[in-house]
Structure 1
Amino acid sequence: MSATLGALLRLMEPDWSITLIERLDAAAAESSDPWNNAGTGHSALCELNYTPENPDGSIDITKAVHVNEQFQVSRQFWAHAVDRGVLTDVRSFLNPVPHVSYVQGAERVDYLRKRRDALAANPLFATTEFINDPDEFARRLPFMAAKRDFSEPVALNWTTDGTDIDFGSLSKQLIGFGVRSGTTAMFGHEVRDLTKQSDGSWTVKVRNRRTGVTRKINAKFVFVGAGGDALPLLQKSGIAEAKGYGGFPVGGQFLRTDNPAITAGHRAKVYGFPPLGAPPMSAPHLDTRIITGRPWLLFGPFAGWSPKFLKHGHVTDLPLSVKPHNLASMLGVGLSQISLVNYLIGQLRLSEGDRVDALREFAPSAVDADWELSVAGQRVQVIKPAKGKGGTLEFGTTAISAADGTVAGLLGASPGASTAVPAMLEVMRRCFGDRYDGSWQPRLKEMIPSLGVELSHNPELFNEVWSWGTGVLGLESGTDAGAAALAAGPDDSASPAATGDAEPAGVA
C-alpha cells in the first residue's frame, strides 16, 4: 500500500519531497513478502465467500463484482507502470495462473452451477467455466484427482484470467522507482511518535534501530502504512478519527512444497469453502506460487496466534493498543466472537499430521514427508466502534484520515493488496481533494482509463482495457503462459509515510 501511494504521488508531483521510513532492513519484509501471503491478488474469481447464496437459492455476486472492479483498477495501473518503465520486471511479480473454485457433494455442486451462471452473465466473469466431469477434473488438476473417490460429486468453477502475484517484488520495484526519482528511503528506522504542530504540519520522531540515534522530520502529510502496526501509530497521532478502533492479531501458517513431481501436477489456485463455523479468511486453498522464478505449492491457511501486530513485532503490541477510548469496542468483540476464539483454539491444537489430513481433503494422495510448515505474516483484523454493540470485527480494509487531510492510514488485511491502487486513490482523494479533482485527473485517467467507470456496466471499455493490459503485462496465453512459467522452474511493512513541498518528509 505504501509503495503504491509513494509511486502514485511521485508520478503526480515529481518535485515533491518524499521520504520512506521502514523499520526493517529490507523492503516488503512483512505482509508483502511472498511467503507471508497467498499471492492470490484477489479478483473474486475463486473466493466463494464473495458469492453467498440467498435464502431463495439465487447467488449474490455484488461483493464479487465490487472486488473485481477494484482489481481492474490495480491491473490497469500496473500495465501503465510497465509501459512507462516504473515496473521493470513483470514476470518477477505477475504470472498467469488459473483461479478455481472447488466443491464436493450434490448440494454444493448445484450451488457452483448457479454461481457460474450468475457470474458468467457479467463481462468481468464471462470466461468462468463449470466443470463436473471427473475425467476433465483429472485432466486439469491431476494432483487433486490422484487416489480420489469420485463417487461423491465434485465440481469446479474455472477461469484462466487469474494471476499469482509476488507483492514483495512489486513493492520493491515501486520503491525502486521512487528512489530513482528522488524519494529518500530510510531502512532500519522506526517511527516512535507523531506530533501535530501549530501550522498543521507533523513532526515525525524516527529512531535508527542500529545506532539508537533519533531524529525529527517535518512533513505536511503523513501516511501510516505500517501493516498491523498502523493502529498504534495512528493512536499516537491523536486524531479523533482513530478513536474507538482496536485490532485483533491473527497469525497464518501454510504447508508448502517445491517437489517438481507435485508442482507439475497442479497449476492453479483452488479455493474451497471454509470449515463450518470458521471465519471467511479460513477458506482452504491449494495454490500455485511462483517465487523468484520457481514453482511452489502452498496449502492453508492454518491460523496461529500471537499478541504481536507484526511478524517482527513485540509481544506487548496487543496489550499496549488497548486504550480507554477503544476498551468498549474490544470487549464488545470479545463477547460476540466466541466462535472465532474456539476456531483459533482448535487451530492451535493441530498437529503436523492433522494439517496434512486437511490437505488430503483437497489432494488425497498427499504424503506427509513432501510438505513443510511455513509461518506466514501477521494480520490485524480491524475492530470498529459501533453504537450499541461496543465494536464489530471487520474482515476488510479500512482507510482512516484526519478531517484536515494531513494524516491518513490503512487498517485491516483482506481482500488483499490487489486493491492497493483504488485504496490509495481514495486516500489521495480525501487528503488532496483539490489536486485530485483538478490537475491530477488527466494524468490519472491516462494511467487508469476506466477511472470512475464501472466496467461491469461497460463491456466495450472493459474489453478494450483488458486487452491492452493483457498485452502490456504479457498475459496473452492464459493457461499456456502459466504452464510455461512453471515449467521454467528455478532460474539457476512497512512504516509511515509523509510528503511535503520543502522539508524532507516520510512515505512508507
Structure 2
Amino acid sequence: MKKILSIVLIASVLLGACKKEAAEEETDVVLIGAGIMSATLGTMMKELDPKLKINIYERLDAVAAESSDAWNNAGTGHSALAELNYTPEMPDGSIDIHKAIAINEQFEVSKQFWAYLVQQKKLPAAHTFINNVPHMSFVWGDENTVYLKKRYQALQKNVLFKGMEYSENYDSLARWMPLVMKGRSRTQKVAATHMDIGTDVNFGNLTRGMISALKNAEGVKVALNHEVKTMKRNADSTWMVTVVDRATKKERNIKAKFVFIGAGGGALRLLQKSGIPEGKGFGGFPVSGEWMVCHNDAVIAQHIAKVYGKAGVGSPPMSVPHLDTRVINGKKALLFGPYAGFSSKFLKQGSYLDLTRSITLKNIGPMMSAGLDNIPLTKYLVGQVMQSDEERLKALQEYYPEAKAADWKLETAGQRVQIIKKDKEHGGILQFGTEVVTASDGSLSALLGASPGASTSVDIMLSLLKKCFPGRVASAEWQQKFKQMIPSYGKKLADNVNLANQVREADSKALGLKYFVIQP
C-alpha cells in the first residue's frame, strides 16, 4: 500500500509540474510593460503585420503609470535644441555636436511616426500629447557665455539647427523668458539661445493613445495588474512566460515567439531572469528625481519655454537643471529641477529591495568598479539628498530670481535606473542613455536605461526590429510600410535640406506645430 501511495504521489507531482509548464495560450508577441516603449513597438509591429497576435502585460492597474507618466518623465521632447550635455566642449576648445545631431534626427523620426498615426486616426488629436514650447539654453559668466556662443556657431552649420537665435542682450532675453530675467542684474554676463519650434510631449497621453488603439485591434490583449514572474526559453527558441494576476494570484503560462522587456526600471531583473548570455554582467544604479512645482497660476502664465542650464560638476545628465513649461491634460504647468536623489527602488512603485535583488555574481564586479570610478557622482547624490528647502529654493532662484517659496511645492518625480556594464579597461562603467540587449536568435530583447529614451523611442524600436527580424525588415513589404510610416526612412535629414523641409512641413501640419523653411 505504501508503494502504491508513493507512486501516486510521485505521479501527481510530475503531472502537476507538467501542467504548470504547459502553455495555456500561444501568441506571437509578448510585450512586458505598458509604457511608451512597448506601446511604440506594439503599434509598429501591428502596422507592419496586422495578423500578429500581441499580448501586453502591465504590473500596475493603469497604462503609462511609471516613467512614461507626464509628472514622472524628465525628458519631454528631447531634441538636443537646448540640452547642453549633448554638446560637450573638447580639450581643444571645439564643440562636439555629433550626439546633438543624432538625437535631433531621432526625434524627427518620432514625429513622423506620430504624424502618421494621427492621420490614420490611431492617435487622438495631436494637441493632447504634443505642443509647441520654445527650447532655450541659458548660461551666465564669461566662460559659459563663450561656450554657448561656440555651441551656437557649431550647430548653425547643420541643417537641423537652422533658425536658432543667439543673444547676450538683456532686453532680448527678457522677451524670451521674462521670469528668468526679472530681478536679475543688468551687469551680469548672460547669454541664451532660442528655438521657437521646440516641443513639449506628454508621453503619458501619447502612450495611452497608442495602447487604446491597440486594444481595439484584432488579436491584441492588454492585461493590467498582471506581472511577469518568470521566462524560460524553449528548445524551438520560443518562450514560456509565466504571468500572475496580482488580484487573484492565478498564474498562466503563455507561449510566445518573441518577448520584449520594456518594463522601465523593472527591465533589468526580468532580463536577468531570462537567462540569456547577452544579459549577464549588466547592473543598474537607481537615481530618483524630485521637482519644484509651481502652484501660482499668475507665475505660470508668465513663462512659456524650456530653459536648460549647465549641469553641476559630477552630476548625471538627467539632472541638468531646467525651468520647464509643460502642457499636462490641456493645462500649463511650470516645473524646476530635477533635483537628484537616491532610492534603492528600481521603480517608483517598486520595492526597496530592488537594488539588492539585482546584484549577481556576474555583475557585482562591474558594479563595484563603476562605483569606484564615479565617486564624484556619489558625493553629488549625497549632497542632493541632504539639501534643505532653503538650498533648493536658492537653486531655483538662479533661474528665477524672484521665486517665492510659497509658490512652489516639492514633488517626487520618476525613478531611473542607469546602466552599469562590463568594460575591459575599467572593469565596469556607468552608462547614461539607453541600450537594447538582444538574444542571439532575436527571440527576446530588453531595453535598459533612461533619457532620452522616450523622445527617441521610434528610432530605438526601428533598430530593435532590424536586430530581431532582419529578414522581414529587408522584405519589400516591410520596407514599403516603413517608408509610409516614416517618409525619411533610410535617409538623413541632416544631409538633405529639401527632404528636411518637406518632412518638417508635413509633420508640423499633421501635428499642429510651428515650422519654418530652412534656407540652403
- After TM superposition, give the deviation of residue 50 of structure 1 in Å: 0.9
**Which of residues 114, 117, 126 is equivalent to 2:162?**
126
1:147 counterpart SS class: coil
Aligned match of 1:209: 246
- After TM superposition, give the deviation of residue 336 of structure 1 in Å: 1.0
Matched, 1:453 2:470: no
Aligned match of 1:469: 507
2:187 counterpart SS class: coil
Matched, 1:320 2:354: no
**Which of residues 160, 176, 181 is equivalent to 2:212?**
176
- After TM superposition, give the deviation of residue 476 of structure 1 in Å: 3.0
**Which of residues 370, 386, 398 is equivalent to 2:435?**
398
For 2:314 and 2:268, the matched residues in 1 are separated by 28
Deviations 1:16-61 (A, max 9, x none): 1101000000000000000001342210000001111223322211
**Which of residues 26, 35, 50 is equivalent to 1:14?**
50
Unaligned 5+ residue runs, structure 1?
479-508
Matched, 1:65 2:105: no
Q: What letter corresponds to residue 394 of structure 1 in structure 2?
A: Q
Cα distance change of structure 1 residues 82 and 238 upon mapping to structure 2, 3 Å threshold = same
For 1:476 and 1:301, the matched residues in 2 are separated by 28
Matched, 1:303 2:362: no
1:324 counterpart SS class: coil
Is the 1:38–1:287 contact (alpha carbons within 8 Å) kept by the matching residues of 2? no
Is the 2:504–2:515 contact (alpha carbons within 8 Å) kept by the matching residues of 1? no
For 1:256 and 1:425, the matched residues in 2 are separated by 35
TM-score (norm 2): 0.90
Is the 1:120–1:128 contact (alpha carbons within 8 Å) kept by the matching residues of 2? yes
Deviations 1:154-187 (A, max 9, x none): 1111001110010000000011111111210000
Aligned match of 2:465: 428
- After TM superposition, give the deviation of residue 116 of structure 1 in Å: 1.2
**Which of residues 173, 194, 218 is equivalent to 1:137?**
173
Unaligned 5+ residue runs, structure 2?
1-36
Matched, 1:239 2:276: yes
For 1:470 and 1:331, the matched residues in 2 are separated by 47
2:111 counterpart SS class: helix
Aligned match of 1:74: 110
Q: 5 Å matches for 1:75-94?
A: 75-94=111-130
**Which of residues 63, 84, 91 is equivalent to 1:55?**
91
- After TM superposition, give the deviation of residue 429 of structure 1 in Å: 0.8
**Which of residues 439, 453, 461 is equivalent to 1:416?**
453
Q: What letter corresponds to residue 399 of structure 1 in structure 2?
A: V
Is the 1:39–1:166 contact (alpha carbons within 8 Å) kept by the matching residues of 2? no
Q: With a CA cutoff of 8 Å and minimum separation of 6, indicate the structure with the bigger relative contact order.
A: 1
**Which of residues 355, 370, 388 is equivalent to 2:407?**
370
Q: What letter corresponds to residue 214 of structure 1 in structure 2?
A: E
**Which of residues 237, 242, 266 is equivalent to 1:229?**
266
Aligned match of 1:490: none
Aligned match of 1:496: none
- After TM superposition, give the deviation of residue 135 of structure 1 in Å: 0.9
| RMSD (Å), alpha carbons | 1.1
For 2:418 and 2:411, the matched residues in 1 are separated by 21
For 2:175 and 2:399, the matched residues in 1 are separated by 16
For 2:490 and 2:280, the matched residues in 1 are separated by 31
For 1:161 and 1:459, the matched residues in 2 are separated by 17
Is the 1:39–1:167 contact (alpha carbons within 8 Å) kept by the matching residues of 2? no
Deviations 1:68-99 (A, max 9, x none): 11111111111111111111221111000000
Q: What letter corresponds to residue 163 of structure 1 in structure 2?
A: T
TM-score (norm 1): 0.93
Is the 1:251–1:304 contact (alpha carbons within 8 Å) kept by the matching residues of 2? yes
2:349 counterpart SS class: coil
- After TM superposition, give the deviation of residue 190 of structure 1 in Å: 0.4
Cα distance change of structure 1 residues 390 and 258 upon mapping to structure 2, 3 Å threshold = same
Aligned match of 2:146: 110
Aligned match of 2:398: 361
For 2:92 and 2:353, the matched residues in 1 are separated by 48
Is the 1:249–1:379 contact (alpha carbons within 8 Å) kept by the matching residues of 2? yes
Q: What letter corresponds to residue 125 of structure 1 in structure 2?
A: F
Aligned match of 1:257: 294
Is the 2:304–2:325 contact (alpha carbons within 8 Å) kept by the matching residues of 1? yes
1:34 counterpart SS class: coil
Q: 5 Å matches for 1:272-291?
A: 272-291=309-328
Matched, 1:342 2:379: yes
- After TM superposition, give the deviation of residue 132 of structure 1 in Å: 1.1
Matched, 1:163 2:185: no
For 1:442 and 1:258, the matched residues in 2 are separated by 49
**Which of residues 349, 370, 382 is equivalent to 1:333?**
370
For 2:250 and 2:361, the matched residues in 1 are separated by 32
Aligned match of 1:220: 257
Q: What letter corresponds to residue 140 of structure 1 in structure 2?
A: W
Aligned match of 2:18: none
**Which of residues 209, 228, 233 is equivalent to 1:191?**
228
For 1:290 and 1:451, the matched residues in 2 are separated by 30
1:347 counterpart SS class: helix
Cα distance change of structure 1 residues 284 and 346 upon mapping to structure 2, 3 Å threshold = same
1:36 counterpart SS class: coil
Q: What letter corresponds to residue 41 of structure 1 in structure 2?
A: G
For 1:142 and 1:477, the matched residues in 2 are separated by 24
Is the 1:258–1:295 contact (alpha carbons within 8 Å) kept by the matching residues of 2? no
Deviations 1:348-375 (A, max 9, x none): 1011221111000001000000001110
For 1:63 and 1:258, the matched residues in 2 are separated by 36
Q: What letter corresponds to residue 167 of structure 2 in structure 1?
A: I
Aligned match of 2:135: 99
| Structure 1 stretches of 4+ moved >4 Å | none
Is the 2:239–2:258 contact (alpha carbons within 8 Å) kept by the matching residues of 1? yes
Q: What letter corresponds to residue 425 of structure 1 in structure 2?
A: L
Aligned match of 2:303: 266
Deviations 1:406-435 (A, max 9, x none): 000100001230110010111111111111
For 1:340 and 1:123, the matched residues in 2 are separated by 35
- After TM superposition, give the deviation of residue 110 of structure 1 in Å: 1.8
- After TM superposition, give the deviation of residue 477 of structure 1 in Å: 7.2
Q: What letter corresponds to residue 449 of structure 1 in structure 2?
A: P
- After TM superposition, give the deviation of residue 150 of structure 1 in Å: 2.1
Is the 2:176–2:194 contact (alpha carbons within 8 Å) kept by the matching residues of 1? no
- After TM superposition, give the deviation of residue 114 of structure 1 in Å: 1.6
Aligned match of 2:478: 440
Aligned match of 1:384: 421
For 1:70 and 1:463, the matched residues in 2 are separated by 16
Aligned match of 2:26: none
For 2:370 and 2:89, the matched residues in 1 are separated by 26
